[in-house]
Structure 1
Amino acid sequence: MLIDLARNGANQAGKQLQTLASEKAGADQQLSMLLVYRQDYAERLSKAAQTGLSASNYHNFRQFIATLDEAITQQNRVVAQIDAKIEQGRQHWHAEKRRVSSFEALQSRDRRQQLTREHRAEQLASDEISANLYRRARPSH
């Protein structure tokens, strides 16, 4: 029963790790999109500056790029937080797997000890039967 509980715990930890990996993929994709979007706007600003750009349009471009930079910074924080959660999840999963292994090792050791006791009992019974047969077969004086 303890092994089953430990296995369930390890399975749950594995599922949580998979969920975090999915979150990480989504966060990475969002960060990528923000970086591409920022690059696109920086190129637009550069092209617009070459053809002539009013001060207010230049200010709007720079303000929007600054907003994108802030969003990128926030998304980098989100990715870092998810990475930290993944590391914690990995450690938890490894701990649960070690727990399962420990219980399985204890169970295995208990089985070996039980088999050793059974073999000893069988050997004692066999020795006793042999001794009784020997005594009966031996002529008495």
Structure 2
Amino acid sequence: MSPETSLDVLINLTQDKLDEAGRNLSELSTRRREAQGQLNTLDDYRADYTKRLQNTTEQGLSASNYHNFRQFIATLDEAISQQNTIIAQIDVRLEAGRKQWHDEKRRLNSYETLKARQIRQLQYREHRREQRASDEISAGLYRRQRQPH
């Protein structure tokens, strides 16, 4: 096994950063789905409560009960607004996480390309060395065969 080069160290470090960026992206995606689920629940609850208000109003409703319904719906609207803000913040972080992941992936690909080029160059040099050695052996045999005994 060949010794680890500085390029190998860079590849390993970059792979670690890429893995971390992937974990971060996964965590943010999970948080986004959970936040969206909470928003959907709030939206459903608001729609249900609005429908209940409408049904109750048709049957007759005191002013204080109507005020309580409206106040609770306003509270739900505020919670929905806050949840939308949270989702927007997560979306910004998700986009930054995607960019970081793509940057690390591009960096890793660059290092791996350099490593592949380095390996090809080493193989080419080794092949040329072997070819020269073979040519020298052949030339030596040819000279010996041409010399009179």
Q: Tell whether the structures are fold-level matches, with TM greater than 0.5.
A: yes
User: Which amino acid counterpart does residue 119 of structure 2 have in structure 1?
Assistant: R
How far has the Cα of 1:63 moved from its partner?
1.1
Aligned residues: 140
Name the counterpart of 2:73. Answer: 65
Alpha-carbon separation, structure 1, partners of 2:142 and 2:58: 114
Identity of counterpart residues, as a percentage?
A: 56
TM-score (norm 1): 0.93
Unaligned runs of 5+ in 2: 1-8
Alpha-carbon separation, structure 1, partners of 2:77 and 2:40: 12
Q: Does 1:102 align with 2:110?
A: yes
The alignment partner of 1:53 has SS state of coil
Please point out which of 16, 20, 23 is paired with 2:28: 20
Name the counterpart of 2:6. Answer: none
Larger displacement relative to structure 2 (78-87 or 25-34): 78-87
Q: Does 1:43 align with 2:51?
A: yes
Cα root mean square deviation, aligned: 1.2
Q: After the TM superposition, which segments of 4 or more aligned residues of structure 1 sit over 6 Å from their partners?
A: none
Q: Does 1:29 align with 2:37?
A: yes
Name the counterpart of 1:84. Answer: 92
TM-score (norm 2): 0.89
How far has the Cα of 1:139 moved from its partner?
2.4
Unaligned runs of 5+ in 1: none
